[in-house]
Amino acid sequence: MAARTLVPLLLPGLLAAAVSTGCSGNNTSSAAPGKPQGPPALTKEQAQQVLTSFASGMNQAGLRFSGRTLRTVETDPQLTMDVAALKLRRAVRQRPPKVVFSHTTFYIPRLTGHPRWFAADAVSGKGKQALRHALLFTQSSENAPWLLAADPYPSELALAHVALDPQGYATPVAPDVEDLAVAPAKLPKAHAALLTDGPRASGASVLADGAKTSETYKALKAGEKTLATRGVTLSSRFSPAEYKVYGLRTKDRGAVVWYVLKQNEAYSAAQRGKLAVSGDLVGLAPSTTARTRLDTTVLVQYLATIPPKGRATISGMYRKAVTAQGS
């Protein structure tokens, strides 16, 4: 996206790199595909207009390093994350590349009332710079603007598995639906427990092993040990962020789901000079802020696929530190 950074994530130690590798409202339904439940949130032509307008706004924001412009095309959690990314870009004096979307497919659910939402699978950039997006736009009320709420980067064509009815529209999945391996509303808590306490944590077994689950936990633990050899102690905890969980029914009667976790990190060192505001934290606090303690808040968006039976897999992610305070 226009406000995101392409510079390496270099938090103290290896933690940012480790994580990087490593509830919809009452208008949702869990009805079977092919049985229309209310009108579509908007037409595909209108969805294309929303995407085009969004790209234009992002390019203006990137050109001006303008958080105010971002607010005209985004809402939280995306807004908070991209404002932080924009601060980093301003600090390193690196304007983002122009956003142009291609290979776009829209997934528009049938909904009644507001808020309304829809998803889009799209690609920005070309060649080695190409990025796939799982964009999720929301509209809070009838006359409100459509704003980007989430945009994890999928590592596979996860949205291609979304089921469409004969008219080409998708079916939303309620957060508390009971015909999946795990209810979408319960997945954030399970994922947070796994990343904090490991794959054996209570409830964590609903998630399959992978780069963004068990491997991320291992990388975090390895990073903590590396920091310890440098005289730095780290405590890190994940928790479900207070944002809605959105889901769409897939062709196998499963669901693809968007949700957000919050990571709180606390770095401490007995000696000054061991900590620094660097990498992903640049722009969030003065470089001299961290003396013997550094506390950060990170938001992590996820895209997950939940089968009817079995274990959920994570197919997309967007991570960004959003606050940093030192002493």
Total domains, the chain: 1
Least confident segment among 181-190, 240-249, 288-297, 305-314: 288-297
Question: What is the predicted pLDDT for the residue at 218?
Answer: 97
Query: Is residue 17's pLDDT more than 70?
Result: no
Token pair 């933690």 is at which residue?
A: 15
Beta bridge partners of 105: 121
The answer to whether residue 49 sits within a structural domain is yes
Q: How confident is the model at residue 1, as a pLDDT?
A: 52
Residue 110 in any domain: the answer is yes
Examine residue 137 and state whether it is found in any structural domain, yes or no. yes
Q: How does pLDDT run across 42-84, given as a tens digit for each residue?
A: 999 999 999 999 999 999 999 998 999 999 999 999 999 999 9
What does the pLDDT look like over 226-238, one tens digit per residue? 999 999 999 999 9
Proportion of the chain above pLDDT 70, given as a percent: 89
pLDDT digits 0-9 by tens, 257-272: 999 999 999 999 988 8
Measured distance CA(217)–CA(318) in Å, rounded: 17
Average pLDDT, rounded, for the chain: 89
Domain extent for 141: 44-326
Amino acid at 303: L
Is the peptide bond preceding residue 12 cis, with omega within 30 degrees of 0?
Answer: no
What CA–CA distance (Å, rounded) separates 316 from 310?
Answer: 19
**Residue 230 domain flag:** yes
How far apart are alpha carbons 8 and 17 in whole angstroms?
Answer: 8
Torsion sign across C-alpha atoms 204, 324, 135, 147: positive
Residue at 27 is within a domain? no
29 assigned to some structural domain: no
**Rounded to whole angstroms, how far apart are CA atoms 299 and 16?**
12
50's CB contacts (< 8 A; 6+ apart) are 42, 137, 146
In a domain, 18, yes or no: no
